[in-house]
Amino acid sequence: MWTADEIAQLCYEHYRSRLPKQGKPEPNREWTLLAAVVKIKPAADQACGGTNRRAQVTKEVVSMGTGTKCIGQSKMRKSGDILNDSHAEVIARRSFQRYLLHQLHLAAALKEDSIFVPGTQRGLWKLRPDLLFVFFSSHTPCGDASIIPMLEFEDQPCCPVHRDWANNPSVEASGDLEDPEDKKKCEDLGSPVAKKMRHEPGIPDSVAHHQSFGHQESGPVPPSVSGSHLTAEELAAVTGMAPSGAKVVDVHRTGAKCVPGEAGDSGKPGAAYHQVGLLRVKPGRGDRTCSLSCSDKLARWNVLGCQGALLMHLLEEPIYLSAVVIGRCPYSQEAMQRALTGRCRNVSALPKGFGVQEVKIEQSGFLFEQSRCAVQAKRADGPGRLVPCGAAISWSAVPEQPLDVTTNGFPQGTTKKAIRCLQARSRISKVELFRSFQRLLSSISEDKWPDSLRASEREQEHK
């Protein structure tokens, strides 16, 4: 029905044509990450058994997000009027929730073009059976999915080793997206080494991809340490991710920190530096964050759905992603499967309709034009430092005010004095999504509410 390259190209074109200049990276000085949700819909005759499947499929971007930032715990607010996590994946999912709210408005108004149809229970809706959603991210999600094995033949294109690493191997390789640029050099896409890797016989495409792109959005690389120096237990976590016969000498780093209570990373040089499969929080600069890594959040959405607890009051079943597509970047199919589905296999005792999904995971060969490596390759040895873009863009397929540009969790340009004003709230903040949900309920006659909401309303009246 679709290919990973088709999804990537659709998202990149949408980014170029539909998102404003405001909030995008400053040319040759900043970079960002991109994520989106794409709706896939077959034509009517295909649903009835048509044969020309590719031509009859409709693909439409319904939400999009950009961003690399996350606020520290000291800046979090109980009022829900600030965006705690502005990584692209989270912005895209919040924007998707806004799209779902709008579609429920259409369904409640009995509009035929809604993606929802009445469920079997009173007041509940379900997704049309012919629709599915694909999640796209221009880069491997931070956290567990970014712990990717580095193979012996990958030494040359890697970042140069810093002398102080040998003297102090305990120095942590941070994956903070704001790390200084001189610690994260990308391999020139046109260099002889990169070209050789892309055409080397016997090297899988996915390996060549992360080979030629060095360490996009990854931390500095310590010296290669032979896998033979590791214990059997330490090797077991990473050797399963390497092509048959390849020697794992190191892993790409993630800056996400293990949550309190987890076993934690060993910090040993080489392939045993990280422990895989753990829950992690996004890194902060001095002020620790409370936001789980994007790998952990995608894993949660794959069990609980993308709709959130609030919309579940009106839905008969969760809204799951059918597939995840990653753009060209350092990548491991096994690491993605472990991070998104493998470590959730034992989750049980879930409510009816919920479960661990067998989501399809693929990688595109197309690079995002404003990723760190793409910008680095264009600017060559240009002056100044390459830094992550401070703004985040939210776009939803809704008729009114589809765009939202934020900085530090608030609409761009918000002053400290105006923070408590209604205008100083992002349209995808928790409080604004809740207000949209309230407006949706008010448009529905109370006698048509689902039983769970009617019971909750009676309890409130009792109090």
Q: Which of 6, 26, 60, 89 is catalytic?
A: 89
pLDDT over threshold 60, residue 213: no
Handedness of CA 357, 363, 366, 370 (dihedral sign): positive
pLDDT of residue 207: 38
pLDDT over threshold 50, residue 38: yes
Give the closest residue to 386 by CA, choosing from 109, 203, 179, 127.
179
CB-based contact 258:280 (threshold 8 Å): yes
- What value does the mean pLDDT of the chain take? 80
Give the pLDDT band of residue 46 (cuts 50, 70, 90): low
CA dist list (Å): 93 to 70, 255, 396: 15, 22, 10
pLDDT of residue 241: 57
pLDDT over threshold 80, residue 374: yes
Cα–Cα distance, 29 to 382 (Å, whole number):
9
pLDDT of residue 243: 60
Cα–Cα distance, 339 to 57 (Å, whole number):
30
Please give the structure tokens belonging to residue 16: 């170029």
pLDDT of residue 451: 78
pTM for the whole thing? 0.80
pLDDT of residue 459: 65
Summarised one tens digit per residue, pLDDT across range 51-108 is 555 558 999 999 999 999 999 888 888 888 999 999 999 999 999 999 999 999 999 9
pLDDT over threshold 50, residue 193: no
pLDDT over threshold 90, residue 15: yes
Cβ atoms < 10 Å from Cβ of 423: 8
397, 391, 91, 288: CA torsion to nearest 10: -170
CB-based contact 209:328 (threshold 8 Å): yes
Give the pLDDT band of residue 283 (cuts 50, 70, 90): confident
Percent of the chain with pLDDT over 70: 73
Cα–Cα distance, 104 to 114 (Å, whole number):
7
pLDDT of residue 153: 58
CA dist list (Å): 146 to 17, 216, 217, 265: 30, 11, 10, 14
pLDDT of residue 155: 42
Give the pLDDT band of residue 242 (cuts 50, 70, 90): low
pLDDT of residue 40: 97
Question: Any idea what the Cα angle at residue 286 is, between residues 89 and 142, rounded to 5°?
Answer: 25
Give the closest residue to 35 by CA, choosing from 15, 6, 12, 64.
64
Please give the structure tokens belonging to residue 113: 């073009």
pLDDT of residue 17: 97
* Catalytic-residue membership of 200: no
